[in-house]
A and B are shown apart, each in its own frame.
Chain A
Amino acid sequence: MEEFALKQEYENLDLKNINTIQEFDKLVKSFIEDINFNKEKYNITDGLRLTNETDGFWRNINSRFHIVVNGKIVSLNLVKININEEWLIAGIYFSNNVENSKLMLEHFKYFIKGGKNDI
């Protein structure tokens, strides 16, 4: 599994700082939107939200998607945490096909740097 969780990537990050998490949450949402509208940029040919697995309470904590990258299935998991009654994305994980999971993680890091350098 290729993962990008705030605390692992930025050791000194203060996770109690709600602004940081809110910023990360926004960046991930922008990234998902970018994937959705610019599929060709990522060699993605299809995507599907796995709704059955995220019913009820778990829907708040974990959102899971399948995307087809270079013909291979990559699972995209978003892990959320509850801050002041608001569920915010604090981690993004790619799994299944290793090569394309790594590729998507690199895309994500590049996107973050392009979108916001000082996170």
Chain B
Amino acid sequence: MIYRSKNLAEDLAITGTEIELIPLFDRTVVRFVEDLKQHPENYKIVDIKREFNHSPHENRERYSLVVDGRLVSLDIPQRNVSVSGISYVWLRDSVSLEGAKAELLIGGIRPFVKKQNLTDLMEEARARLKEEKVHLLHLPKEMFRFYFAETRVEELY
């Protein structure tokens, strides 16, 4: 079962293309994972284990969770959204859940997302992108416009 940016658009009641929504998605997922760790009981999680990546170059987070006595694998890959061949900007673009009780967790993501404040999330997404500094110029144009259209250049750096 996969939760991706089109699901986020539904849950936050916003419009945008997939590429535009990725930074918002990235921040939402970071918040969600933090909530899983802080309040596992809200998701019927009784144990959680972060899995090692297969290689240091792998840009993903993987967790094994016990939900209602069953194992659920949570996989959060990151995608390089840079349009330059020489720089990388990695952002989370999907959440994948596998296991007999995966549906329960998907059922937990959606109410969590609906509770998020869109203005705060947009601010967090902008702040995350600004961390890329010079690589901001390597973002896809539509993504850049979505987050920085009304921002003056001097505020970016």
Contact = CB atoms under 8 A, between A and B. Distances in A.
B54 A53 contact: yes
A105 interface: no
Nearest to A72: B47
Contacts, number: 38
Nearest to B52: A53
Contacts of B47: 68, 71-73, 97
A72 B70 CA distance: 10
B126 to A, nearest CB: 35
Interface string A65-99: 01010011100000000000000000000001100
Interface residues of B, number: 13
Interface in B42-92: 46-49, 54, 64, 66, 69-71, 73
Contacts of A38: none
B54 A73 contact: no
Contact of B69 (A68, A96, A97): A68
8 closest pairs, A vs B, by CB?
A45-B69, A46-B71, A46-B70, A71-B46, A72-B47, A73-B47, A73-B49, A48-B71
